[in-house]
């Protein structure tokens, strides 16, 4: 199954305790599509400005990402500036320049409207709704969001949640959306809005997946070196949804396996700035780390002898 992702392609300026990247390639759709491209065909819908360099386009094409839906408008590309302290779970936003993103109206090429899988990356929920009106009968629809949209456009976001299968947000956003400090209760409230599954990203503590009657947990991969967590959530979503699109297995077991592949992809992303680690990544490394994840979480059942 092919994937259409609608989100942002951006420049990031990021500082962590381990270094700094200035005007590096970023954006939710960029990280998602790069990660998902290891598993499935991906078509990208986003907007860039006149200043977006050809080398970045060539990289996306080298991953065989379809760029028919990438608009180029007069002006500058969306630019985010952020900083991380030693708590790499939380970014401090220093500056956000929306630039051409202010005029972005996602228009899917006709061939994209029949997509099997749609991922609505972190953009205005009103734009996410416009995209949902353009697709025909996708087998799977998932979305991401952030605290800015939760606080500024909660009604539109809740309408999106009502119309998708899987919602992917972080722990703080789940609590913010519901006003419920207990994560389990917050998850139940979000699922009650209409989605089938809620995936809660917890940074270095892993990920939780909720349905109306089940909970599944996967750890984060223990790493000695973490350089830049920017885009880790989008990379996770790309691995998760990309693997689902590859297998077409939407059973509980299939979705749980895909979730671990998402965690694998996120673990590679944080090992360098921007998409540099993903650019060097080989599929054999993904399989090797997946097997390490299995060993990390495998243990013996209770003895039947009492």
Catalytic residues: 234
Find the length of the chain.
Answer: 306
**Nearest 10 degrees: CA dihedral of 92, 174, 34, 219?**
100
**Distance separating alpha carbons of residues 40 and 1, to the nearest angstrom:** 7
Question: How many CB atoms lie under 10 A from the CB of residue 167?
Answer: 28
C-alpha dist (Å) from residue 2 to 30, 68, 92: 16, 14, 35
End-to-end CA distance of the chain: 47
Q: Provide the token pair at 125.
A: 């929920």
């Amino acid at each position: 199954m092919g994937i259409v992702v609608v989100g942002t392609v951006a420049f990031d300026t990021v500082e962590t305790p381990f270094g700094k990247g200035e005007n590096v390639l970023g954006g939710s759709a960029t990280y998602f599509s790069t990660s998902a491209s290891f598993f499935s065909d991906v078509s990208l819908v986003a907007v860039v400005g006149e200043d977006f360099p050809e080398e970045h386009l060539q990289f996306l094409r080298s991953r065989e990402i379809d760029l028919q839906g990438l608009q180029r408008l007069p002006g500058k590309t969306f630019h985010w500036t952020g900083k991380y302290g030693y708590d790499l779970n939380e970014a401090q936003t220093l500056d956000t320049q929306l630039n051409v993103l202010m005029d972005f109206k996602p228009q899917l090429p006709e061939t994209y409207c029949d997509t099997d899988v749609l991922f609505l990356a972190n953009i205005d929920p009103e734009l996410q709704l416009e995209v949902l009106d353009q697709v025909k009968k996708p087998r799977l629809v998932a979305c991401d969001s952030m605290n800015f949209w939760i606080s500024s456009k909660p009604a539109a976001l809740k309408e999106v949640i009502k119309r998708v299968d899987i919602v992917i947000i972080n722990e703080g956003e789940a609590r913010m959306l519901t006003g419920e400090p207990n994560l389990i209760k917050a998850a139940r409230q979000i699922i009650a809005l209409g989605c089938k599954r809620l995936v809660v990203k917890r940074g270095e503590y892993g990920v939780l997946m909720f349905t109306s009657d089940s909970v599944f947990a996967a750890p984060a991969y223990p790493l000695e070196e973490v350089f830049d967590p920017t885009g880790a959530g989008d990379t996770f979503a790309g691995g998760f949804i990309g693997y689902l699109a590859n297998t077409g297995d939407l059973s509980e077991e299939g979705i749980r396996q895909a979730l671990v592949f998402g965690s694998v992809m996120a673990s590679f992303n944080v090992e360098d700035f921007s998409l540099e680690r993903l650019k060097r990544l080989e599929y054999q490394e993904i399989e090797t780390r997946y097997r390490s994840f299995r060993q990390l979480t495998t243990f013996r059942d209770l003895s039947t002898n009492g």
